[in-house]
Structure 1
């Protein structure tokens, strides 16, 4: 049994295992009645706390200092909020013969989520890239994502996702307002947040588990799992693997065309091809409501895939950053860098 656990943790991010366990708990013991009301209320409050902490962590000054590399940051933002959504729209042709409408909404939502912060920094460092630029790129993406992701979701998903543009005001109150409050109070609480980042990281991850449990409990009660057969999920995985490959190739090609340095190419490839689980899960819970259980499945699957693939690429990144990436040889991919699961 222990050998099986070790094998799973080698290929799976431990936090993904916790998320899957939470999904299993919701499937076996979904919250109903008064318990569901309490869980939903807790999830709503924790989502506000999550975005408050995001705002308190992000250094506006460091992000503004990073504007000196504006070409690189524009390229990362274009990959995150332009190229990815276009890929998602192109995937519409896969409905209904490969993925269902509900799973497609989740796939499209995945394409609208901001890039990661912690994973981008860890992987950029592993690949000997420009770490300060990765910090700034992740910060820009997170800040803009709080505003752009709901707007893009309203425009591209619309009523099919169970919400309309009118609901953006409520979304802004639950996501944007706590984020801005965290930014405003950062001057006074920033040192506390930095000193207690390990404890607050546990708060982050625990909060996300509650949000996932609430979403999947609601999904079980509403019977949304009828749309998620194993064949559909396998097809979804293949589609997401193809999307990740396209984005890795596109960002590598764009970095060479734009004549970025080798260290900056690392940032564009590894930050421009990733999506944030920590930002996306709470957003999906707010945007999709009862349909969030299916909507977050594509994001959870993509997050694990991106960690395995990008960690593998980062460890094999050539010593000469201007050389092409070595072809993947035999052998198991490395474990994802620690601490990146919630990013």
Structure 2
């Protein structure tokens, strides 16, 4: 029963992390220590991503320009505009930083492991999924902050200190991982389970520290049942538009069915693995937790939705869904 409700084990981990931060948030003298641990976890996470993402496969896969180009355009173009529209629609109804979280959701890259796994389960082009995930995340490290600054106006004004933090905490570890990829990637691939555990632990730490600050700042006092319902309704709308739009785009481009499935999951999914560290880098702690709410809800919902969609797509091999 639980495996059907939570097909990805990381979903209950995220639930538990938010619950722990709500009941036992970091306070007082422990805050600087927790923030230091979170920063170290983020640095390690991006170093590990740099080691793991296959540079040579990206270069090889770029030759499939129709699929990879459409995934890039959908993820950072259409989804960014959807996020901007969701922010505008919810701004009169929600706190400003919470509404801003929908734009933040829209500019994030796709997931890596879950998009590839869902594509494989659905009968998609797995090799192209790996390339798409790598290409989107390589691009997103630099492109996501720039898109946010461009679309968010004064709310997205990224100062010199934030730029320095992005470079030192996200970009430098990532490219350091790329440099040593030749030596460390075989070990990471041989210990996938351990690497995934470390990966998700780092994400959980970043989410816990960011959400703790939001709880201390009174997030649950600022949000009532109506506003929480608005967040869930907005996320549900985004999910239907993103998954439906990605599938429709694949049909318009007349992609082969396996490539269309790859575009569906690579284009419509969004990464908390980039979202949590980027929010912690761009925003003060109390604001970061509020901004993360939409991507937390979207991320958990997309994993559940993908796990339900993928078997249905595989069972209908040879049938083109319009």
TM-score by length of 2: 0.93
**Whole-angstrom distance in 2 between the partners of 1:195 and 1:320:** 32
Give per-residue Cα distances to partners, 1:119-163, cap 9 Å, x unaligned: 1111111111111111100110010011111111222225425x5
Moved more, 25-34 or 107-116: 25-34
User: Partner residue of 2:321?
Assistant: 324
Which of 42, 48, 56 is 2:37 aligned to?
42
* Stretch deviating more after TM superposition (34-43 or 165-174): 165-174
- How far apart are the structure 2 equivalents of 1:165 and 1:179? 21
- Residue 302 in structure 1 maps to residue 322 in structure 2: no
- Please give the residue correspondences for 1:46-125 in structure 2 after superposition, counting only pairs within 5 Å: 46-125=41-120
Q: For 1:199-258, what per-residue CA distance to the aligned partner results, in whole angstroms no more than 9, with x for missing partners?
A: 121111112221122112211222343332222121111111111111222222221221
Q: Equivalent residue for 2:158? A: 164
1:153-199 deviation per Cα after TM superposition (whole angstroms, max 9, x unaligned):
222225425x5243223212110110000000111211222222211
Could you tell me which of 271, 274, 296 is aligned with 1:279? Answer: 274
**Distance in 2 between residues matched to 1:321 and 1:77, nearest whole Å:** 26
Tell me how far 1:321 sits from its aligned partner: 3.9
For structure 1, the residue ranges without an aligned partner over 5 or more in a row are: 1-5, 326-343
Unaligned runs of 5+ in 2: none
In 1, Cα distance between equivalents of 2:153 and 2:31 = 26
Shifted more, 208-217 versus 139-148: the winner is 208-217
CA drift of 1:76 comes to: 0.5
Tell me the residue number matched to 2:283: 288
Q: What's the counterpart of residue 19 of structure 1?
A: 14
More deviation, 92-101/290-299: 92-101
Counterparts of 1:188-267 in structure 2 under 5 Å?
Answer: 188-267=183-262
Q: Distance in 1 between matches of 2:222 and 2:282?
A: 19
Aligned residues, how many? 318
Residue aligned with 1:68, SS: coil
Q: Show the 5 A alignment for 1:118-137.
A: 118-137=113-132
For residue 101 of structure 1, report the CA deviation from its aligned partner: 1.3
Paired with 1:10 and 1:257, the residues of 2 have a C-alpha distance of 32
Distance 1:147 1:134 in 2: 21
Deviation at 1:32, TM superposition (A): 1.8
In the superposition, the TM-score normalised over structure 1's length comes to 0.87
Cα deviation per residue 1:4-46 (whole Å; 9 max; x = unaligned)? xx44x53134322222222222222222222111110010111
